[in-house]
Amino acid sequence: MKKDKLIISKDMFTKLKEDLKKLLKSKKELNKNLEQARQSDVSEDTDSIAAVTNELSKINMKVENIEEALENATVMDKKGCKTSVEIGSVVKVKVGGKSYEFTIVSDIEANPLEKKISDKSPLGKALMKGKKGKKVTVKTEDGEVEYEIIEIC
């Protein structure tokens, strides 16, 4: 099954590569520890073998996920302000008389505390369909909220 291309920032691409490097180093150490535990004659080492095997399994899954993300990643190339929203856009909106600024990112980079919202989130989806000067509506649990797109860079 072919995965969709993942559009990420250069910083996220670098972070993923660093994370992968650390995981591969941990995996190597754990494999070494596992081999030592298997060569031991002590029967109590079965618990440590199980723990190391479990940890290796978790690391293997993380490695696989990061490798897949890197394989399918396209690093966004930000070039100036735009009239329509895309991944990587910094969108300034006005809602309820207040202005907010969000960066539209892929799921892997989303972090609401840093005002990085996923293009798959309700607000992200609505903004992705918007253009500068237009209004988009987002349905929430409390009703609909209208956002006016003031600027896209």
CATH code: domain of residue 27: 1.10.287
φ, ψ for residue 112, nearest 5 deg: -55, -30
Structure confidence at residue 147 (pLDDT): 97
Among the candidates 75, 98, 121, a domain finishes at 75
CATH number at residue 146: 3.10.50.30
Residues 6+ apart with CB under 8 A from 32: none
Q: Under a CB-based contact definition with an 8 Å cutoff, are residues 29 and 52 in contact?
A: no
Q: Determine the structural domain holding residue 32 and report its residue range.
A: 6-75
State the Cα–Cα distance between residues 61 and 128, nearest whole angstrom. 32
Q: Under a CB-based contact definition with an 8 Å cutoff, are residues 24 and 63 in contact?
A: yes
Residue that wins the pLDDT comparison between 2 and 38: 38
Q: Tell me the pTM.
A: 0.74
Residue 80 included in any domain: no
Looking at the structure of the chain, the number of domains it has is 2
Q: Per-residue pLDDT tens for 14-45?
A: 999 999 999 999 999 999 988 877 777 555 56
pLDDT higher than 90, residue 111:
yes
State the Cα–Cα distance between residues 39 and 29, nearest whole angstrom. 16
Give the chain's end-to-end CA distance (angstroms, integer). Answer: 34
Q: Per-residue pLDDT tens for 44-86?
A: 567 778 888 899 999 999 999 999 999 999 998 777 788 889 8
Residue 81 included in any domain: no
Residue 120 included in any domain: yes
Structure confidence at residue 37 (pLDDT): 74
Same domain? For 97 and 53 the reply is no
Element (H, E) at 72: helix 45-72
Among the candidates 51, 75, 99, a domain finishes at 75
Residue 118 binned pLDDT confidence (cut-offs 50, 70, 90)? very high
Among the candidates 33, 50, 75, a domain finishes at 75
Residue that wins the pLDDT comparison between 149 and 76: 149
Residue that wins the pLDDT comparison between 123 and 11: 123
State the Cα–Cα distance between residues 151 and 40, nearest whole angstrom. 65
pLDDT higher than 60, residue 2:
no
